[in-house]
């Protein structure tokens, strides 16, 4: 019924898969921060990014990014895209700041 | 908001394949199941995902499906079932 | 004591330093949003603390009460949010459905489209719950997946998979294990694991629980 070639990358139910890796992974501080970003942006006070928008942003990353980025990297990419779309931040601001932080980190080492 | 379906009603999940964000996995599309419960009214994901307010809200149901119907080659136990949340705008009487 | 657990801790030494572009993008977002007044660093800190304060212990308390008090269990199955509130657990706007394992039905929960999970009662989902392989397979071969978790369900028992596709979140009340008659709620809660509340494993047996402590 559904055209397989049009299956979006997140719609996984029923596909063949391999063994499930049950290793525990404690969230890193960076991952907690990304989670907190969405919690805050989606809360009742701000209502800047709805869960549905976060999901749509993740689903729009394309199959390659969906399969290769880590879970919270997908979140970060989606949140950034929606924030830019809504004019909360610009792409230029994000790029400049990311470069600054990278330089700060590298300088500190 | 009045619900179109009641527990026990047989429903068919729409077989459409929209390109917009939605919350109906492909494996369930086109299948017939039974309403397990009415969950209440919620914003439509197809609208919320693009910055809308989700109005008009749609009634959300839990639909019980037979595994042997979902997967023709289902190899486990014939009484196994699957329950899934589906919005009213994705359901027709069956 | 409560003060202690609410202290903000610095990044763990074993946290990997950001290396990918996405790591720096994430840090750039939080700095810019704080500067623009969208939220404060303190709000971020409190969001992380709240996240860390939620764990499967919350869900385990709910299950242990349901095991010992049939009236509570009935209220829990009818209105889970109100029943959680009775135990002082505020699940906020989460819409929770509690399903009970019985001699006839074994329940298991997944979110095939993303990673929906009852975070208010279980904390953040484990990596396997979010993994592509779990999401792909558990809807189509649930018994094979359960077997990988060491769980065998009798053929005559219906396995019921719950796919959290929209606004509901699911918590499983596992079967109360034999051999724990007369145990207190707190003792019983120690038998209720995260995995048993997702439905991939039974609750611990009293023997397994005591050998785990040794």
In angstroms and rounded to an integer, the radius of gyration of the C-alpha atoms of chain C is 19
Cβ–Cβ gap C166/B83 under 8 Å: no
In a domain? residue A11: no
**Quick one: pLDDT band at residue B1, thresholds 50, 70, 90?**
low
> Same structural domain for residues C47 and C89?
no
d(CA C72, CA C125): 26
Residue partners of A9: CB distance under 8 A and separation at least 6: A59, A61, A62, A63, A66, A67
**Quick one: pLDDT band at residue A109, thresholds 50, 70, 90?**
low
Total count of domains within chain A: 1
> Same structural domain for residues C60 and C46?
no
Domain CATH for C101? 3.90.330.10
Total count of domains within chain C: 2
In a domain? residue C176: yes
Instruction: For C65-101, write each residue's pLDDT tens digit.
Output: 999 999 999 999 999 999 999 999 999 889 999 999 9
> Same structural domain for residues C37 and C88?
no
d(CA C86, CA C79): 11
Domain that holds residue C45: 21-52
> Same structural domain for residues C168 and C207?
yes
Instruction: For B21-55, write each residue's pLDDT tens digit.
Output: 999 999 999 999 999 999 999 999 999 999 999 99
Tell me the three state secondary structure of residue C1: coil
The percent of residues in chain A predicted with pLDDT above 70, rounded, is: 97
The percent of residues in chain A predicted with pLDDT above 90, rounded, is: 83
Catalytic site includes residue C205? no
- Taken in order of first residue, the domains within chain B and their CATH numbers are 10-93 (2.30.30.50)
Question: Is the ipTM above a cut-off of 0.95?
Answer: yes
> Same structural domain for residues C84 and C155?
yes
- B25, B75, B36: which is closest to C145 by C-alpha? B75
Q: At what angle do helices C21-35 and A29-41 cross, to 10 degrees?
A: 50
- C44, B29, C117: which is closest to A30 by C-alpha? C44
Comparing CB atoms, the residue among C30, C113, C133 nearest residue A33 is C30
Residue partners of A5: CB distance under 8 A and separation at least 6: none
Neighbouring chains of B at 3+ CB pairs within 8 Å? A, C
> Same structural domain for residues C136 and C110?
yes
**Strand blocks (E) in B1-94:** 10-13, 32-42, 58-66, 81-87, 91-93
The percent of residues in chain C predicted with pLDDT above 90, rounded, is: 86
Q: Do residues B29 and B14 lie in contact, with contact meaning Cβ atoms separated by under 8 Å?
A: yes
In a domain? residue C1: no
Q: What is the pLDDT of residue A2?
A: 58
Domain that holds residue A89: 28-108
Q: Which of C55, C114, C205, C210 is catalytic?
A: C114
In a domain? residue A14: no
Interface test with C, best of B84, B86, B90, B91 (most C CBs within 10 A): B84
Interface test with A, best of C12, C27, C142, C145 (most A CBs within 10 A): C27
Residue C92, token pair as written in the block: 């906020």
Instruction: For A33-78, write each residue's pLDDT tens digit.
Output: 999 999 999 999 999 999 999 999 999 998 899 999 999 999 999 9
In a domain? residue A54: yes
Comparing CB atoms, the residue among C156, C162, C167 nearest residue B39 is C167
């Amino acid at each position: 019924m559904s055209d397989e070639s049009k299956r979006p990358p997140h719609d996984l139910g029923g596909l063949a898969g391999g063994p499930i890796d049950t290793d525990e992974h404690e969230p890193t501080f960076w991952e907690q921060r990304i989670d907190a970003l969405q919690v805050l942006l989606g809360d009742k006070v701000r209502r800047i990014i709805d869960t549905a928008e976060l999901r749509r942003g993740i689903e729009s990353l394309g199959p390659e990014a969906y399969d290769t980025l880590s879970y919270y990297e997908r979140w970060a990419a989606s949140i950034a895209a929606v924030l830019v779309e809504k004019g909360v931040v610009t792409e230029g601001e994000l790029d400049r700041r990311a470069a600054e932080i990278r330089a700060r980190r590298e300088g500190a080492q | 908001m009045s619900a179109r379906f009641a527990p026990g009603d047989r429903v068919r999940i729409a077989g459409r394949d929209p390109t917009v964000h939605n919350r109906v996995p492909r494996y369930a599309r086109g299948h017939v199941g039974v309403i397990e419960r009415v969950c209440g009214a919620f914003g439509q994901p197809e609208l919320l995902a693009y910055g809308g307010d989700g109005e008009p809200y749609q009634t959300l149901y839990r639909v019980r499906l037979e595994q042997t119907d979902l997967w023709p080659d289902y190899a486990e136990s014939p009484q196994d079932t699957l329950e899934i949340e589906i919005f009213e705008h994705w359901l027709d009487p069956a | 004591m409560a003060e202690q657990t609410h202290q903000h801790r610095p990044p763990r030494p074993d946290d990997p330093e950001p290396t990918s572009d996405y790591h720096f993008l994430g840090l750039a977002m939080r700095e810019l949003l704080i500067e623009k007044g969208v939220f404060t660093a303190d709000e971020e800190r409190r969001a992380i603390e709240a996240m860390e304060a939620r764990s499967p212990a919350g869900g385990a308390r709910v299950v242990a009460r349901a095991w010992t008090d049939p009236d509570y269990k009935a209220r829990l199955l009818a209105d889970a949010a109100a029943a959680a509130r009775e135990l002082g657990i505020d699940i906020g706007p989460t819409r929770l459905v509690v399903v009970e394992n019985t001699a006839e039905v074994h329940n298991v929960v997944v979110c095939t489209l993303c990673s929906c999970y009852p975070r208010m009662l279980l904390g953040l989902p484990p990596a396997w719950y979010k993994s592509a392989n779990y999401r792909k397979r558990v809807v189509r071969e649930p018994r094979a997946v359960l077997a990988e978790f060491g769980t065998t369900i009798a053929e005559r028992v219906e396995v019921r998979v719950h796919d959290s596709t929209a606004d509901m979140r699911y918590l499983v009340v596992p079967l109360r294990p034999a051999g724990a008659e007369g145990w207190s709620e707190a003792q019983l809660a120690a038998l209720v694991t995260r995995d048993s509340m997702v439905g991939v494993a039974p609750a611990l047996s009293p023997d397994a629980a005591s050998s785990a402590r040794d």
